Amino acid sequence: MESFEDLLRQAEIAHGHLCAGQILGVRLAILGCQRLGIDEPRTTDRKRLVTFVEIDRCATDAIAVVTGCRLGKRALKFRDWGKMAATFVDLNAPLAALEDGTPTYKALRIAALESSKQRARELYPNIENKNQQQMLAYRELPDADLFSEQWVRVPLHPREMPGYKSARIACEQCGEGINYDREVRQSQNGVTRTLCEGCASPETRYYKPLD
């Protein structure tokens, strides 16, 4: 793996600026890869890792740079929990399947400690700007002062895996194509139709058509 400084520069370019979140994200992702024994996540080990992120902020861009996991590669999974945390799933470490047959894998969840902000204040009390204070401290503090770590089990259905292939099915209402088995079978008055999620549950979809 490249050095911390090299990865940080790449993260800065990808994100558009350097901030405390970028530094934290780079260190978090490096730690996750190290704990899993993944030396080259973007090259020789690129098919071994799936990463779940729990916040759509600066650190997520940094984590993607370090790991090489991208939404477009189906290797980056987003769970909108609002937490500065990520879970690194080792596809080379399968565990027992769930009762329904879904495979599970050994993974490490790493979360940023709230106490790290106080540690930054203690290290640099003379710096008033919190971002500058944290940018300096997050480079220097040991991992134990920045993160909590927990080994976990993560189920990953085959349709969630990178490289999964499925038939493309058209929604019978809007006509749009549906990938990755996301279609919904909905029965009404004895007739079953294949719908996309938006048409099957229009009250919960994230957009509303303009009148």
**pLDDT score of 124:** 93
The answer on 141 and 178 residing in a single domain is no
Cα–Cα distance, 83 to 29 (Å, whole number): 15
Cα–Cα distance, 65 to 7 (Å, whole number): 7
Name the 3-class secondary structure at 79: coil
- Mean pLDDT estimate for the chain: 95
User: pTM higher than 0.85 for the full model?
Assistant: yes
108, containing H or E segment:
strand 104-112
The answer on 67 and 10 residing in a single domain is yes
Domain count, the chain: 2
Please give the residue range of the domain that contains residue 211. 166-211
Residues 21/65, Cβ–Cβ less than 8 Å: no
Q: pLDDT tens digits for 73-115? A: 999 999 999 999 999 999 999 999 999 999 999 999 999 999 9
**pLDDT score of 166:** 85
The answer on 49 and 96 residing in a single domain is yes
The answer on 97 and 129 residing in a single domain is yes
The answer on 101 and 50 residing in a single domain is yes
Count, in order, helices (H) and strands (E) of the chain: 7, 9
**pLDDT score of 133:** 94
The answer on 206 and 147 residing in a single domain is no
Blockwise average pLDDT, block size 10, the chain, 211 residues: 95 94 97 97 95 96 97 96 97 96 97 94 92 94 97 95 91 95 92 95 92 78
The C-alpha angle with vertex 161 and arms to 157 and 163, in degrees rounded to 5, equals 140
| Sign of the alpha-carbon dihedral angle for 196, 202, 205, 206 | positive
Contacts of 157 (CB under 8 A, 6+ apart): 102, 103
**pLDDT score of 88:** 98
pLDDT more than 90, % of the chain = 92
Could you tell me the maximum CA-CA distance found in the chain, to the nearest angstrom? 72
**pLDDT score of 188:** 87
**pLDDT score of 187:** 93
